[in-house]
C-alpha cells in the first residue's frame, strides 16, 4: 500500500474501474495500474496508457 497525498494505492484496478475514473471529471488522480502480471484474473492483465488530450484509453493485453 502506498500513500500519495490523500490517495492510497491498494494495488491494481480492473479495466472497469480505470474506465470509470477516466470518464468521471471529478477524479484528480487516475491509477493506470491494471496488474499486467495478473493475466489469469478477469479484467486484469493489461498494459494501459491514457492519451491526455482525448482522454482515450489504449489497452494491450499481456501476450507473454
Question: Quick check: 20 and 11 in contact, CB under 8 A?
Answer: no
Q: How many folded domains does the chain comprise?
A: 1
pTM strictly above 0.85 = no
Q: Is there a domain that residue 7 lies in? A: no
Strand 2-4, strand 7-9: pairing:
antiparallel
Q: pLDDT tens digit string along 26-55?
A: 888 888 888 888 888 888 999 999 999 999
Question: pLDDT tens, 6-22?
Answer: 555 577 888 888 898 89
Q: Is residue 57 domain-resident? A: yes
Quote the DSSP letter at residue 26. T
Q: Which residues span the domain enclosing 34?
A: 12-61
Domain presence at residue 23: yes
**Does residue 49 fall inside a structural domain?**
yes
Amino acid at each position: 500500500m502506498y500513500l500519495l497525498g490523500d490517495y492510497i494505492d491498494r494495488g491494481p484496478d480492473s479495466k472497469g474501474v480505470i474506465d470509470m475514473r477516466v470518464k468521471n471529471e471529478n477524479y484528480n488522480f487516475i491509477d493506470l495500474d491494471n496488474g499486467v502480471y495478473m493475466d489469469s484474473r478477469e479484467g486484469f492483465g493489461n498494459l494501459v496508457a491514457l492519451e491526455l488530450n482525448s482522454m482515450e484509453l489504449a489497452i494491450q493485453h499481456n501476450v507473454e
